Structure 1
């Protein structure tokens, strides 16, 4: 049973002295409340003594019952811990990140400094209520961000995620019983905008218009890898004999420039290369030493999206007559997925090719592209039923 009891302080010397001071102050015009006569005392889960005083016995009894119930159920939290400032918890959480990449940690740091700590930094974690968080999300949706423009739904959701993960740390460390950032409606994220699915002829025209970067366009449009993965490809990772691309690393932008790191979701994978693309890729491999980047810029270093897209890609889009479709290098992943599905690839193949974390994610994004096979399934069931009934009839 939990150790919680009520102590009557009426005969205690410190209480009597406090009452004399209060009575003298009252005569002098003070309106402060009298010292509490009833003290609730208990031992927390850490076996340290704790206490709280009340002016009236019913108040003390209510507190005693509440603490006893929390201790018995294991939901007790030390009230002093709840007074910890949010910014202290946030720094503790960010400092404990271990498995995240440097880029992810930097992204979290930026959102903490721009939006989360300026709002919640001085709040006591126990004082943050669900309604306060809901109002904050509304502010993020309606007010311009720190850089002037309105925050995108994805940016708002990620800002909320950072706040939620920091508050989860407060829950786990016993400072608050529940996370006030849970179960909020967030603005809908429309992926990367309207999907664009190029046909084989359109993809060929785009590749031809890209000149020396024709092989890169073919890789993006048929292999479905991400831009950062394509620019980090090394010659040793491309096996022309077995027609495989081994995706093990990716370029990512961090403060101070670009850095090679793990692929998104840490999903290393092998991606098939079309036999018809081998001859396009062979000259590219021949120009590089083993271990060198497969696709490089004019200066021989890694491709920079900010210069390559307007100078090469956007010009190729216009030359191929595809301007107005909203096509981007990243959206060539959608083309790769759609062409693979049209060729008969199942969801697991597409998932592995794109590096999605789960088949469910692949279905969420591309499920509408798979053909409706309801009639095919019904016909197969019908054939099985007729066969079974035929056997029963023959046996009779």
Structure 2
């Protein structure tokens, strides 16, 4: 329902009701302006892009407060990271109305962030956070559309992971404190992530069947995805190493510190940083996560296909596996040449045979 009515003071009152039945009205000096406004609002109702005129005044900072309140149900570390991202967003766009932010301004912002020295991956993460915040605002009908898109995205850095040699992995293992050497085994030969290795309990390892079943991450939090809980088959040689470790350092978790308590991720990374200095060729930025890259390279070198590698690394999709490790698969140029050549040669042989018979 929409209408325009002339008031006693000579102004025109345009009014309409939205899909919730709420009435909205504005006053105009000219009737044509009232009609234009009414046409815009009713068209927005039809197309599903209608925004309450009062709600449209919401600023980026105000919406971020509301958004963070709803986001607070996630794990504490995830919320902390979101707050850091939001602080950057509010510093740039906080005083602006949500609907006033333009794609060009988003692109200019990401360019400025890169110029300030922030890494490509961090700027990409900030843009993703802004896109997430706007996506929820569109869903709540605070704004009709988001200024973020693939066109405004700064792009993700595609840096190839460093893959250590087998010799470097064993050298790193030997350079680690005896109490936590098993961490290198879990990363390089089972593909566990840092928090997963620190959270792995003795009860999560089936020493007889040769299966590691990650159930929690440090300290005892649920794993981030169901895929992360996928059991990992491991050889008897690895379970024997882990069994000997458990017999020597008895505790509820596989990895413990000098005090016998559960080892934390920061302590593990600190030990890796110290040990890597004793290993020739390991780069300055080598982390425990890079042991997982070695595990992937080991599987690929053995002939495992992408689905097997995805399953062992417990990636949610094969796309993640290919994006990270596609360069490690052997070059198939010669294989494709051979396949095509076999068909062409067979055809040529057939034609020669037919000519001889004729």
Question: What interval of TM-score do these two structures reach, taking the shorter chain for normalisation?
Answer: 0.7 to 0.9
1:262 aligns with 2:222: yes
Q: Deviations over 1:333-365 (max 9, x none)?
A: 111111110011111221122222211110011
Q: Alignment partner of 2:231: what SS? A: strand
1:283 aligns with 2:244: yes
- State how far apart, in whole Å, the 1-side matches of 2:167 and 2:112 are: 47
Q: CA deviation at 1:98?
A: 7.0
1:118 aligns with 2:91: yes
Structure 1's 274 and 325: CA in aligned 2 closer, same or farther, altered over 3 A?
A: farther
Structure 2 unpaired stretches of 5+:
none
Q: Deviations over 1:143-162 (max 9, x none)?
A: 3xxxxxx4322332323333
- State how far apart, in whole Å, the 2-side matches of 1:274 and 1:81 are: 60
Q: CA deviation at 1:39?
A: 2.6
Q: Which of 36, 54, 73 is matched with 2:28 structurally?
A: 54
Structure 1's 75 and 325: CA in aligned 2 closer, same or farther, altered over 3 A?
A: closer
Structure 1's 125 and 185: CA in aligned 2 closer, same or farther, altered over 3 A?
A: closer
- Give the structure 2 partner of residue 363 of structure 1: 322
Q: Which of 264, 268, 275 is matched with 1:316 structurally?
A: 275
Structure 1's 89 and 314: CA in aligned 2 closer, same or farther, altered over 3 A?
A: closer
Q: Which of 115, 134, 138 is matched with 2:107 structurally?
A: 134
- Give the structure 1 partner of residue 59 of structure 2: 85
- Give the structure 2 partner of residue 25 of structure 1: none
Q: Deviations over 1:150-189 (max 9, x none)?
A: 4322332323333322222221122211012333444444
Structure 1's 381 and 240: CA in aligned 2 closer, same or farther, altered over 3 A?
A: farther
- Give the structure 1 partner of residue 139 of structure 2: 172
Whether the aligned pair in 2 keeps the contact of 1:4 and 1:67 (CA below 8 Å) is: no
Whether the aligned pair in 1 keeps the contact of 2:110 and 2:154 (CA below 8 Å) is: no
Aligned residues: 352
Whether the aligned pair in 2 keeps the contact of 1:196 and 1:326 (CA below 8 Å) is: no
- State how far apart, in whole Å, the 1-side matches of 2:337 and 2:20 are: 64
- State how far apart, in whole Å, the 1-side matches of 2:273 and 2:136 are: 45
- State how far apart, in whole Å, the 1-side matches of 2:92 and 2:285 are: 37
Q: Which of 2, 5, 26 is matched with 1:4 structurally?
A: 2
- Give the structure 1 partner of residue 49 of structure 2: 75
Q: CA deviation at 1:216?
A: 2.1
- Give the structure 2 partner of residue 272 of structure 1: 233
- State how far apart, in whole Å, the 1-side matches of 2:330 and 2:185 are: 25
Structure 1's 236 and 200: CA in aligned 2 closer, same or farther, altered over 3 A?
A: same
Structure 1's 288 and 325: CA in aligned 2 closer, same or farther, altered over 3 A?
A: closer
Q: CA deviation at 1:97?
A: 2.9
- State how far apart, in whole Å, the 2-side matches of 1:65 and 1:185 are: 31
- State how far apart, in whole Å, the 2-side matches of 1:188 and 1:126 are: 24
- Give the structure 1 partner of residue 255 of structure 2: 295
- State how far apart, in whole Å, the 2-side matches of 1:134 and 1:322 are: 39
- State how far apart, in whole Å, the 2-side matches of 1:316 and 1:72 are: 64
Q: TM-score, normalised by structure 2?
A: 0.85
Q: Which of 159, 162, 167 is matched with 1:201 structurally?
A: 167
Q: Which of 119, 139, 142 is matched with 1:152 structurally?
A: 119
Query: Please, what is the CA RMSD of the aligned residues?
Result: 3.1
Structure 1's 211 and 78: CA in aligned 2 closer, same or farther, altered over 3 A?
A: closer
Structure 1's 100 and 346: CA in aligned 2 closer, same or farther, altered over 3 A?
A: farther
- State how far apart, in whole Å, the 2-side matches of 1:88 and 1:323 are: 47
- State how far apart, in whole Å, the 2-side matches of 1:183 and 1:315 are: 41
1:97 aligns with 2:58: no
- State how far apart, in whole Å, the 1-side matches of 2:38 and 2:157 are: 51
Q: Computing the radius of gyration over CA atoms, which structure comes out larger, 1 or 2?
A: 1
Q: Deviations over 1:29-87 (max 9, x none)?
A: xxxxxxxx233222222222222222223323322332332233333222111012333
Whether the aligned pair in 2 keeps the contact of 1:221 and 1:335 (CA below 8 Å) is: yes
Structure 1's 302 and 172: CA in aligned 2 closer, same or farther, altered over 3 A?
A: same
- State how far apart, in whole Å, the 2-side matches of 1:323 and 1:248 are: 31
- State how far apart, in whole Å, the 1-side matches of 2:265 and 2:46 are: 59
Q: TM-score, normalised by structure 1?
A: 0.78
Q: CA deviation at 1:366?
A: 0.5
Q: CA deviation at 1:223?
A: 1.6
Q: Which of 214, 227, 248 is matched with 2:194 structurally?
A: 227
